[in-house]
Structures are given as structure tokens and as C-alpha cells.
Amino acid sequence: METLLYVIPLGIGAACTPSLFALSILVTGQEQWRKRATALAAGSALAFSLFGLL
């Protein structure tokens, strides 16, 4: 059980990282990319901080 407490947050982080990377590429490739990139950075920071609390 103790091993699951270490493995589950790592699995969640590994699942989220590629999707956030792909989303950042899509966002910066469009017009008005600065506002969208700022929102993406804030959302990513929030997501990773929430996962960090696990």
C-alpha cells in the first residue's frame, strides 16, 4: 500500500505532462498567443501544484 502512495502521483504526472506539452505547442502556434500562453502557464502551474499536494 505504501508503494502505491508513491507511484500514483508519478503516474498522474506522467500522464499530464505530454498533454500539457502538446497543448502549449497548439496555443503558441495561433494568434494572440501571449495571452493564451500566460493562461496556459497559470493553469499548468495550478495543475502541478495540486498534484504536488497528493
Rounded Cα distance, 29 and 8, in Å: 33
Rounded Cα distance, 6 and 3, in Å: 5
Domain regions of the chain by residue span: 1-52
Over residues 1-53, the pLDDT tens digits come to 777 777 877 777 777 777 777 777 888 788 888 888 888 888 888 877 887 77
Q: HSE-up of 32 (CA within 13 Å, CB side)?
A: 3
Q: Return the C-alpha cell found at 46.
A: 495550478
pLDDT value for 9: 74
Evaluate if residue 54 carries a pLDDT over 70. Answer: no
